A and B are shown apart, each in its own frame.
Chain A
């Protein structure tokens, strides 16, 4: 359920702009820890794969 958990975590963050601002400076490990503490469980590699997909789709 990892990619779905990433989706839910992002939706949760986007609903609260202060939280979004808070996580913007976090490293991948800190993001994963922050998400897990809120019940959104995924690994650092899964989050990085999602970011890599953004690079791939944008041609960056």
Chain B
């Protein structure tokens, strides 16, 4: 790896360091943006001292990145259409990476500085969608082809539903606790300097740290996805494909490719019919070098088998061929995705989905140093964030109250919801999940609906998402013009 990186020219090396620095800064800003939410309850209830809470939260964020896997990271990456992903090593690809990095961090930092409600997830996703659409516009393609809409719908639904789940379940859990725990102290805001009763204190600390762990696992992966886009684009010879993939994984890829050859051969006539009926869109010729097409699936699957038959491991595949191998895998996967969408039986769809998972495995990975760097940036950001809290004296701060049971209910539900999203490989806004959980407990407690929480969540959809899209698209046109 070091040999490949040292062989880069000065300009590319500078580009690599700069973009890695920006991606890690994005994670750092994310950490300090979200510190307040993660530790507010445990410090306010005096379950833990501020220093212990912040250090433990930072550590849990650090650990969470490693424990979360990489499914969310690649859900973010795959918001971009495959044609753009296989062009990421070109100047356009680099313009894409830079514009989404710069727009995401600019918007995140500006909203933090101006005290506007924002969500890192909506910012990043908005930037990606903006860049994808701008690329389609620039290439003269239909706007619909600029984004992987199937993935975008999944991600959008996850971002939309997770706060609703947080609201309903946290409210329900509070009602349950009110029935089960009769001690009135647990249902009142903290009084004096005493910590909460032991059991509740343990629940508040455990769920608070659980929220930090879940935050690290979901938000950290967004940074991992960004860094992998950078590495694949700038050093494809090293990072295009996992050189540590096991022999079993490679065998699995070869077998999956062989089965895809048979499948696409057997469905040749059907595919032509799909093209004629318009079920599969004929895309106009593009200016970028690579284009994936369902008609090219057999060629791609044969190329994968031929390449892997020649070498005992990915490490043995010459650097120059790794990019081609990755492109073939992504194109074949995309063709299989199209066919799975048109499959008439659920068995066929399941079979295709299973083969796709096996096929993609060597392309969906993250080296341990990337996970470590993101963990460090997020953990440090969390620890710095507490120091940077600015107190704005006013009406709001004077009216804010939270009972022990409300805090615990919101945290337990947020922790569970984010962990579930991790398991499903879906990004969520941890801030929205936690805040809507608190709002749910307020509603259940008959303290009224928190309109300010609803307004913040709505702002992420009506302000952050379109603003990040416009910023991402504008920067893409600028950088692509300069390239």
A residues within 8 Å of B by Cβ?
A: 1-4, 6-7, 10-11, 13-14, 20, 23-24, 28, 31, 45, 47-60
Contacts and interface: CB of A to CB of B under 8 A. Distances in A.
B44 A50 contact: yes
A4 B450 contact: no
Contacts of A45: 43, 49-50
Contact of B452 (A10, A14, A28, A58): A58
B2 interface: no
B36 A57 contact: no
B60 interface: no
Contacts of B396: 54, 58
B134 interface: no
A49 B118 CA distance: 20
Interface in B425-483: 431-432, 434-436, 438-439, 442, 450, 452-453, 456-457
Interface of B: 35-37, 39-41, 43-44, 49-50, 115-118, 189-193, 386, 389-398, 400, 402, 431-432, 434-436, 438-439, 442, 450, 452-453, 456-457
Nearest to A55: B36
A24 B391 CA distance: 9
B226 to A, nearest CB: 23
A57 B400 CA distance: 8
A40 B201 CA distance: 27
B189 A59 contact: no
Contacts of A14: 395, 398
B398 A49 contact: no
Given A58-B452, A59-B435, A52 B37 contact: yes
22 contacts: A3-B190, A3-B191, A4-B191, A4-B192, A14-B395, A28-B389, A28-B390, A45-B49, A48-B389, A50-B397, A51-B392, A52-B36, A52-B40, A53-B44, A54-B397, A57-B402, A57-B435, A58-B396, A59-B456, A59-B457, A60-B117, A60-B456
A58 B439 CA distance: 9
The interface centre, meaning the residue of A1, A24, A52, A54 with most chain B CB atoms within 10 A of its CB, is A52
A1 B46 CA distance: 12
Contacts of A59: 117, 431-432, 434-436, 452-453, 456-457
Contacts of B452: 57-59
Contacts of B450: 57-58
Contacts of B116: 60
Contact of B393 (A3, A10, A55, A60): A10
Contacts of B39: 52
Given A57-B400, A60-B117, A1 B193 contact: yes
A30 to B, nearest CB: 10
Contacts of A11: 398
A2 B193 contact: yes
A48 B438 contact: no
Given A49-B44, A57-B452, A58-B456, A7 B391 contact: no
A54 to B, nearest CB: 5
Q: Which 10 A-B pairs have the closest CB atoms?
A: A59-B435, A52-B40, A59-B456, A45-B50, A52-B36, A10-B398, A49-B43, A55-B36, A60-B117, A49-B44
B398 A7 contact: yes
Nearest to B395: A14
Given A1-B192, A3-B190, A10 B397 contact: yes
A47 B391 contact: yes
A59 B44 CA distance: 17
A26 to B, nearest CB: 8
Given A1-B192, A10-B393, A56-B434, 16 more contacts: A13-B393, A14-B398, A23-B393, A45-B43, A45-B49, A48-B391, A50-B44, A53-B44, A53-B402, A55-B37, A55-B40, A58-B456, A59-B431, A59-B436, A59-B457, A60-B118
A31 B456 contact: no
The interface centre, meaning the residue of B118, B398, B431 with most chain A CB atoms within 10 A of its CB, is B398
A60 B397 CA distance: 14
A3 B189 contact: yes
Nearest to A45: B50
A44 to B, nearest CB: 9
Contact of B44 (A1, A23, A52): A52
Nearest to A23: B393
Nearest to B433: A59
Nearest to B49: A45
B171 to A, nearest CB: 14
Contacts of B44: 3, 49-50, 52-53
A54 B118 CA distance: 15
Contacts of A10: 393, 397-398
A7 B398 CA distance: 6
B411 to A, nearest CB: 10
A31 B393 contact: yes
Contacts of B117: 58-60
B50 A58 contact: no
Contacts of B386: 48
